[in-house]
Amino acid sequence: MLRARRVPRKVVANRSSDGRTRTPVTSPESLTFRSDVTVELVKSSASDADVLFAARVSTAGEQSLDELKKDPERSKGLINYLMRDRHGSPFEHNSMTFFISAPIFVFREFMRHRVGWSYNEESGRYRELEPVFYVPGADRKLVQEGRPGKYVFVEGTPAQHEAVSGALRESYEQSYTAYQKMLADGVAREVARAALPVGLYSSMYATCNARSLMHFLGLRTQHELAKVPSFPQREIEMVGEKMEAEWAKLMPLTYAAFNANGRVAP
User: Which residue in the list 20, 220, 234, 263 is annotated as catalytic?
Assistant: 220
Q: What pLDDT score does 173 carry?
A: 98
Q: What pLDDT score does 28 carry?
A: 57
Whether 121 has a binding-site annotation, put simply, is yes
Whether 124 has a binding-site annotation, put simply, is yes
Residue closest to 265 by CA, chosen among 116, 130, 103? 116
Q: Per-residue pLDDT for 44 more than 70?
A: yes
52 in a structural domain: no
64 in a structural domain: no
For 56-98, the pLDDT digits (tens) are 999 888 888 877 778 888 899 999 999 999 999 999 999 999 9
> In terms of residue numbers, what domain contains 145?
11-46+94-256
Establish whether 220 is a catalytic residue: yes
Percent above pLDDT 70 for the chain: 89
Q: For the chain, what is the mean pLDDT?
A: 90
179: CATH: 3.30.1360.170
140 in a structural domain: yes
55 in a structural domain: no
Q: Per-residue pLDDT for 232 more than 90?
A: yes
73 in a structural domain: no
The rounded distance, in Å, linking the Cα atoms of 28 and 25 is: 10
The pLDDT confidence band at residue 209, using thresholds 50, 70 and 90, is very high
Q: Taking a C-beta distance cutoff of 8 angstroms, is the pair 195, 177 a contact?
A: no
Average pLDDT of the segment spanning 87-115:
98
For 194-205, the pLDDT digits (tens) are 999 999 999 999
Whether 114 has a binding-site annotation, put simply, is yes
53 in a structural domain: no
The rounded distance, in Å, linking the Cα atoms of 135 and 200 is: 10
Whether 210 has a binding-site annotation, put simply, is yes
Whether 261 has a binding-site annotation, put simply, is no
For 137-162, the pLDDT digits (tens) are 999 999 999 888 788 899 999 999 99
Whether 120 has a binding-site annotation, put simply, is no
38 in a structural domain: yes
Q: Please give the tally of structural domains in the chain.
A: 1
Q: Taking a C-beta distance cutoff of 8 angstroms, is the pair 259, 76 a contact?
A: no
Which pTM was predicted? Answer: 0.87
197 in a structural domain: yes
